[in-house]
Amino acid sequence: MAPSPPRRARAFTLVELLVVLAIIAVVVALVATAAGRVRASAMRARCITSMRSVGTFVSNHATTHEGRLPRSQHSAVANGEPPWILEFYASEFGAPIPPSSDPRWNEFVRARLRCPFDERDRDASKQRYSSYGLNVYFELSPAETGGPVYRTLSRVRLPGRTVLAGELDEGSLADHLMAHFWTQYGTPPEVAPDRHGATQGVLFADGHVADVPFAQTFQDNGSLDLWNPATAR
């Protein structure tokens, strides 16, 4: 009996090939989406870690300065003190205020003061600036607040609900947020409300950091203001 001829492998039809390609495309898209979410989650975690380091610096400063909080550019020079970021730098390196050419400064900003989502890293002229700003309420005078002042954390009634620092808008080159202007003059908040997608990092006066929508800390209709120590609830 003659042997049977070998069977020829059946070739894919065009429809079958298109189905396979479509499945591969879906799988690649799902993997890319998952990878993007993991990357974004890691970037948010890095931002929160950086903000916590700011909180640690502020707490240490208060401990060594009779409870007083550091000042920002808003009032530091007028009171004969260096702005908080320069004090933070000195606390890390044990060095005097760095010259603009000091390469350690940019590295310090990247390691301690930069949110990974901050687009200013794309602009070499803005890489020296912090992603974070202190809430200026903590250094305002009685004339600016209408009475109470909050130079020490002990004056803050609800530290776990009072914002100490937030994320600066990428157009800002300051080291603070003029939060009292938002209500007194209707000035648009100079924050980056959606830097993390729909949220931003917020450092509270008790040292904890939350990744929350800006609207959970401030409403321009006056119903919510966690930036003002007098109205935080």
- For residue range 114-144, list pLDDT tens digits in order: 999 998 877 877 888 999 999 999 999 999 9
Rounded distance, CA 124 to CA 120, Å? 8
Residue 9 has pLDDT above 60, yes or no: no
Percent of the chain, pLDDT > 90?
A: 70
- Residues 157-167 have a mean pLDDT of 98
Number of independent structural domains in the chain: 1
The pLDDT score that the predictor gives to residue 13 is 83
Classify residue 10: in a domain, yes or no: no
Are 126 and 172 a contacting pair, CB within 8 Å? Answer: no
- For residue range 187-216, list pLDDT tens digits in order: 999 999 999 999 999 999 999 999 999 999
Rounded distance, CA 51 to CA 140, Å? 22
Classify residue 157: in a domain, yes or no: yes
Classify residue 233: in a domain, yes or no: no
**pLDDT band for position 6 (50/70/90)?**
low
Rounded distance, CA 62 to CA 184, Å? 28
- For residue range 81-111, list pLDDT tens digits in order: 999 999 999 998 887 777 767 778 888 998 9
Classify residue 52: in a domain, yes or no: yes
* Residue 82 belongs to domain spanning: 19-119+127-225
The residue whose two tokens read 């020490």 is 152
